[in-house]
C-alpha cells in the first residue's frame, strides 16, 4: 500500500535522494526588513519546502530543475521564461492576517499560523503544477488554473500527512478572499484565467469530500438541500476522475509492503 504521509515517503527516499538530484531547489532573496526576516524563518521552519521537494522527487520530477524563489516582488506566480516560481515574503503575512482576522483558531481549533502554512503549501504545489505542465508538455483541456488547483488538492489529500485538513484550510483562504470582495464582480474577473474565489473554495471542498465521504460527511453542508445529495455523488466521482487523470502524468510512486 502507499504511505499517505509525505514525511514517511521522505524517509523512504532519504537513502537515494540528495541535493544533487532533487528537481526543485529553493532560493531566498535578502529580506528587506525585520518583518521579512521573521517570515523567512517561519517559512524555513514550516516544512513546506521539504514537503514540496519530496512530492516532486517521488511523483513529479522535472526534466529542467525548478527554482522556488522567496522574496520576489511579484507573485505568487510561475515565470515560464525563467522556470522559476516567485513567492513574495508578504504572501505568508497576508494569509496569516486573513486567518487571524477570521478567528480561525477560535472557530475551527486550528492555529492561524498553521492555516497560513497550509495555504502556502497549496499555493506552492499549484505554481509548481504550472511548471510541471510546461516541463512535461501536458495537454490541458480547459482552464489550467483549475487543473493545478485540482493537482494541489489531490497531492495534499493523497500524500501529505493530514493533507485533507490542510486542503480545507487552503479552501478557507479562498472563502476569506471572496468575503472581502464586493457583492459584484468587475468585468476583468469574468475574463480572468482563474475561477472565482468561491468556486475555487467549493471545488477544493468537493475533492476533499469525495476522497472520504464518511470522514467528511458534514463538509458540504453549506450546499442547499435541494442540491446536496446530487453534489455529494458528483464529488465522489470528481475526486476519483481527477485523481486518475492526474496520475496518468505523475510518476508511479514507490510502494511498500
CA distance 116 to 161: 16
Query: Residue 225, Cβ neighbours under 10 Å: how many?
Result: 7
Grid coordinates in use for 87? Answer: 513567492
Contact 91, 76 (CB under 8 A): yes
The partner residues of 87 in beta bridges, in order of sequence, read 70
- pLDDT beyond 60 at 136: yes
Asked whether the predicted pLDDT for residue 184 surpasses 50, the reply is yes
As a whole number of angstroms, the longest Cα–Cα distance in the chain is 55
Average pLDDT of the chain is 86
Task: Specify which residues 27 forms β-bridges with.
Answer: 69
- For residue 80, give the C-alpha cell: 515560464
Grid coordinates given for 25 = 531547489
Question: Cα-flanking dihedrals φ and ψ of residue 121, to 5°?
Answer: -60, -45
In the block, residue with C-alpha cell 480547459: 142
Task: Round to whole Å and give the CA distance between 152 and 130.
Answer: 11
Cell numbers describing residue 237: 466521482
Query: What Rg, from alpha-carbon coordinates, does the chain have?
Result: 18
- What distance in Å separates the CA atoms of residue 239 and residue 93, rounded to the nearest whole number? 31
CA separation for the pair 47, 204 (Å, rounded): 22
The pLDDT value given to residue 189: 57
Give strand pairing partners of 213: none
pLDDT at 4 over 50: no
pLDDT grade for 220, boundaries at 50, 70 and 90: confident
Q: What is the DSSP letter of 16?
A: T
pLDDT band at residue 8 using 50, 70 and 90 as cut-offs: very low
Domain boundaries, the chain: 90-247
β-pair partners for 86: 69, 77
pLDDT in tens, 56-110: 999 999 999 999 999 999 999 999 999 999 999 999 999 999 999 999 888 888 8
pTM, to two decimals: 0.86
What is the structure's pLDDT at 9? 40
The neighbour count for residue 30, using CB atoms within 10 Å, is 8
Higher-scoring residue by pLDDT: 195, 256: 195
Q: Please, which residues bridge with residue 127 across strands?
A: none
Amino acid at each position: 500500500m502507499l504511505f499517505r504521509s509525505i514525511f514517511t515517503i521522505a524517509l523512504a527516499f532519504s537513502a537515494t535522494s540528495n541535493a544533487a538530484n532533487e528537481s526543485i531547489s529553493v532560493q531566498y532573496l535578502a529580506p528587506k526588513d525585520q518583518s521579512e526576516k521573521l517570515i523567512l524563518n517561519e517559512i524555513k521552519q514550516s516544512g513546506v519546502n521539504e514537503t514540496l521537494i519530496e512530492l516532486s522527487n517521488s511523483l513529479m520530477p522535472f526534466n529542467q530543475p525548478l527554482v522556488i524563489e522567496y522574496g520576489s516582488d511579484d507573485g505568487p506566480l510561475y515565470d515560464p521564461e525563467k522556470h522559476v516560481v516567485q513567492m513574495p515574503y508578504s504572501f505568508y503575512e497576508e494569509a496569516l492576517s486573513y486567518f487571524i482576522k477570521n478567528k480561525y483558531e477560535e472557530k475551527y481549533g486550528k492555529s492561524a499560523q498553521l492555516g497560513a502554512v497550509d495555504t502556502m503549501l497549496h499555493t506552492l504545489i499549484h505554481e509548481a503544477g504550472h511548471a510541471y505542465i510546461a516541463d512535461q508538455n501536458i495537454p490541458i483541456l480547459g482552464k489550467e488554473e483549475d487543473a493545478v488547483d485540482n493537482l494541489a488538492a489531490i497531492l495534499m489529500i493523497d500524500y501529505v500527512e493530514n493533507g485533507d485538513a490542510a486542503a480545507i484550510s487552503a479552501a478557507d483562504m479562498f472563502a476569506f478572499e471572496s468575503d472581502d470582495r464586493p457583492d459584484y464582480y468587475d468585468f476583468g474577473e469574468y475574463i480572468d484565467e482563474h475561477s472565482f474565489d468561491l468556486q475555487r473554495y467549493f471545488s477544493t471542498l468537493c475533492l476533499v469530500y469525495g476522497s472520504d465521504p464518511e470522514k467528511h460527511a458534514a463538509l458540504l453542508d453549506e450546499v442547499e438541500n435541494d442540491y446536496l445529495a446530487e453534489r455529494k455523488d458528483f464529488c465522489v466521482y470528481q475526486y476519483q476522475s481527477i485523481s486518475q487523470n492526474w496520475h496518468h502524468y505523475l510518476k508511479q510512486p514507490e510502494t511498500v509492503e
